[in-house]
Chain A
Amino acid sequence: MEHNLYLPKLAEITGIKEEVAGARAIKTFRTAFTNGTRLEYRCGQCAMLSVFGKGEAMISISSSPLVKDYLQFSILKMGRVTTALHELEVGDIIGIRGPYGNGFPIENWKGKNIIFIGGGIGLAPIWSVLQTTLLQKNEYGELTLIYGARTSNDLVFRQECEDLKRKMSVFLSIDVAEPGWNEFVGFVPQNVLDKKPSPSNTVAITCGPPIMIKFVIKALKDLHFEDGQIYTTVENKMKCGIGKCGRCNIGPHYVCKDGPVYSWAELKNLPQEY
């Protein structure tokens, strides 16, 4: 019998960082398999996390595959499983199976500029690519981050974003003005249009709420990006992770298996149902 794909491996939570407090709380969890093994994965791939007794949730891996000490997940407290995850402590055991999905084709982006465009918790899947390309900075062109959230308190990796400003261009935004906020005020797509990144030798990758993704793509098109230069990672409800349970499909594609990463050239030809 082959390995049972539905069987999670046990992992210990080795670190928890509170990114955002309040009703839309976000925590970053670091985990390590209890049997000492490591997961080989690609930037943009996901893993199915188990809180035994609550169920499973598909979460994108936010750490770089080049980092071998831990697997990192940044998780918005939203449903049954993510709420249970937020109640866990360092030392608690969860289950992990995966990795799932295709990941970003970053090998094809060597020598190109990369613009990362994130909204809210949508920075998590992008973070893996950002960290990886930053660790191999001499192999890529200019790196730029355009990232926004509802309020300054909703920004994840807030301190890391500030630190990044020494290494690359970082443009932050919040939806509504706040005292003491010196950066852009408005939605992420507006910030993209404001910063006017050039499409020349550039790849743009975006993740955020579905509505943000749609308008970011529109903004990039307005800035003359070609469909093949725009990448996004799609989220849908998932149960199996292997293209069998039937719910995450966009047309004939199962996002868990054939996605979650799509170029706009691919995604625009699928039914707009995500």
Chain B
Amino acid sequence: MEKILSKKALPQWVKTLTSYKVYFPKKDKDERWNYAEIDHEDINLAFLNTTLPPKKLLFPQKELFLEFAKTADGDQETLEVKEILPDEQPVVIFGVRPCDARAAWLLDKVFAGEFTDPYYWKRRNQTTLVGLACDTPPWENCFCLSVEGSPCSEEGLDILLTDLGDKYFVKSLTEKGATLIRAGKKVFQNPKPEDQKRAQAVQAESVKKIKRQLKDARAISSTLKRMFDSPLWDEESMSCIRCGICTYLCPSCHCFDINDELESASPLKGNRVRTWDTCQFPDFTMHSSGHNPRPEKASRLRQRLCHKFQYFVETYDKFQCVGCGRCISLCPVGIDIIKVLEKVNQHGT
């Protein structure tokens, strides 16, 4: 289904979505773009990209898994464990950049398969992603084209909006997307043939504006395998201050920890929670004996890159990187995965 939505009519559409919790990009107090639940005065898609990807709305930085509590009845103590799944609440996220939606599509692969993650899928299935094609690269380090994405890719999205100046070209991609459009039916017009052509022209133009490129990304998987013991990893990780920003801001990184948090030790009462974790911390892999398979920064940088460009490719035949460029633009010491991978390619071939 394809429609036209005038920019002025966007708030009207959003107002019809009464059963949904609606998120839009919004500048926070630190002047960073972030996804926030809207107040209806602030409906605006004039943004580049958010610092934190929308991943947190599908896979929160911290989420409750279960509650446990001991209750005493005389001498009889009973332990109760209660599963806490996310609330039933349809969500719509507006202004998801195509790279971040592709990252959700990659997370789908991780959280599906033989073992389905019920927490992720409860959220994912009730969330509609309304994408916004990039007419300008949001970051100077965007390189989506090199990892099989594009500024107007559709994977992971339910609707794709393309900015035509005073209006959006609206393309529904899934049943969830169609439902959202049906909800606001009166605000949409049918596209004219020239609208379609203009949308295609905007998309074709945007592709030309991506400056950075990772050459021959498909070849990297086998090169990485050969370069496992290379001294290059030491050199390239030397400046790392192991802050983990590269992974926390990554839209496709999925590593997590599971821990118990106590509300009361006696009587026992607490929560089991899942939190984001990062392969860049030494204790991520450290055994309780002290043995650590990845004790040095070098092995951890190698893990991050091998996971994204070798292991994930071997398992799913996809890069686990969408080329959003956040880890490059926001690394405090300037570690640049494109440059590191280019060196890997130079040295390993």
Dominant secondary structure at the B interface: mixed
Chain B residues within 8 Å of A, Cβ to Cβ: 65-66, 68, 79, 81, 83, 85, 110-111, 113-119, 122, 228, 254-260, 262, 265, 268, 270, 272, 277, 279, 284-289, 291, 293-294, 299, 303, 306-307, 310-312, 314-315
Query: Which of A7, A235, A242 touches B287 (beta carbons < 8 Å)?
Result: A235
**Given A210-B291, A236-B285, A237-B285, CB of A5 within 8 Å of CB of B115:** yes
**B277: A residues at CB distance < 8 A:** 239, 245-247
**B257: A residues at CB distance < 8 A:** 239, 245
**A235: B residues at CB distance < 8 A:** 287
Stretch at the interface among A47-55, A61-69, A123-131: A47-55
**Given A7-B66, A247-B285, CB of A240 within 8 Å of CB of B256:** yes
Query: Which of B254, B287, B288, B311 touches A249 (beta carbons < 8 Å)?
Result: B311
Dominant secondary structure at the A interface: loop
The answer to whether the Cβ of A93 comes within 8 Å of any Cβ in the partner chain is yes
**B285: A residues at CB distance < 8 A:** 236-237, 247-248
Cα distance A250–B279 in the bound complex, in angstroms:
13
Can you list 26 A-B pairs with a CB-CB distance of less than 8 A?
A: A4-B83, A4-B118, A5-B116, A5-B118, A7-B66, A52-B79, A52-B272, A55-B259, A209-B291, A210-B291, A237-B288, A239-B258, A240-B256, A240-B258, A244-B110, A244-B117, A245-B255, A245-B258, A246-B255, A246-B279, A247-B279, A247-B285, A251-B306, A251-B311, A252-B310, A273-B299
Cα distance A6–B85 in the bound complex, in angstroms:
11
Q: Are A7 and B83 in contact (CB under 8 A)?
A: yes
Q: Are A82 and B81 in contact (CB under 8 A)?
A: no
CB distance from B251 to the nearest CB of A (A): 15
Cα distance A199–B115 in the bound complex, in angstroms:
38
Question: Other than the known A240-B256, A242-B114, A247-B279, what 19 A-B pairs have Cβ atoms closer than 8 Å?
Answer: A1-B122, A6-B272, A7-B66, A53-B265, A55-B258, A55-B259, A56-B258, A78-B289, A209-B289, A242-B117, A244-B117, A245-B255, A245-B256, A246-B255, A246-B307, A247-B277, A248-B285, A257-B114, A271-B306
Chain A interface size band reads 35 or more
CB distance from B229 to the nearest CB of A (A): 9
Q: Are B115 and A243 in contact (CB under 8 A)?
A: yes
Q: Are A53 and B68 in contact (CB under 8 A)?
A: yes
The answer to whether the Cβ of A141 comes within 8 Å of any Cβ in the partner chain is no
**Given A6-B66, A53-B68, CB of A239 within 8 Å of CB of B256:** yes
Q: From B116, which residue of chain A is reached at the shortest CB distance?
A: A2
Q: Are A244 and B111 in contact (CB under 8 A)?
A: yes
Identify the 10 closest CB pairs spanning chains A and B, nearest first.
A79-B288, A246-B255, A242-B115, A252-B311, A52-B68, A78-B288, A252-B314, A93-B79, A55-B260, A4-B118
